[in-house]
Amino acid sequence: MTEPTSPALSPRLEPIERPTSWWMRLVYGMTKWTLGRVITPVKVVTARVPGSAAVAHKMNATEAKLSLDPELRFLITSYVATLNGCAFCTDIAHAHAQNRSVPTHKYNALLRYDTSDVFSAPERAALAYVEEATHSKAVSDATFETLQAHFDDRAIAEITWLNAMENYYNLLNRPLNIGSDTLCPVSPDAHTVPRHAA
């Protein structure tokens, strides 16, 4: 298996290193303060669509208020990013996980979530749900009923929203060849295309 997006790939749009507007200079400064650098999606997309910075801020704030366990949120977003082959998103998710001391053994076993004993039945149900929704944009009754056996209505809505949010970010990065910013060293198996991805 190979990495879906190589960190060496050049973005299809030239990164804007020195924004001219005060708003984007503020965004760049906040990003650098938060992450230690201005990440490529900000220089490629946000610099050209300034209003998207407020959208991303609101989405991040909403995610932080979800009732879902932070480890499950991490597993969902990391797995969806992996399904979509978004190296930038898997990289930043892993960096956040390390900063928050989230165990990485499950991250490294994500491609085997349905057979690995490190995942609980609720985690398997959530990952199967987002996998099917990401690939098919819908889920079968059986997949939904399995999810419903483990989560209440609010949690199901949150899992669905989290999946949609991650797909949004992935669809910004992949078409524009935005690869990993090497925010975090990951194992060689971390960014591989899953068995179901085409």
Residue 28: exposed, middle, or buried by beta-carbon count in 10 A (0-12, 13-18, 19+)? buried
DSSP label at residue 193 = P
List average pLDDT for each run of 10 residues in the chain, which is 198 residues long: 51 97 97 93 98 96 95 94 94 77 80 95 98 98 98 98 98 96 58 33
pLDDT at 100 (0 to 100): 67
Euclidean distance between CA atoms 53 and 65, whole angstroms: 19
The residue length of the chain stands at 198
Residue 36: exposed, middle, or buried by beta-carbon count in 10 A (0-12, 13-18, 19+)? exposed
Closest by alpha carbon to 158, among 26, 88, 95, 64?
Answer: 64
pLDDT at 35 (0 to 100): 86
pLDDT at 95 (0 to 100): 80
Closest by alpha carbon to 106, among 147, 69, 78, 146?
Answer: 78
User: What's the whole-model pTM score?
Assistant: 0.86
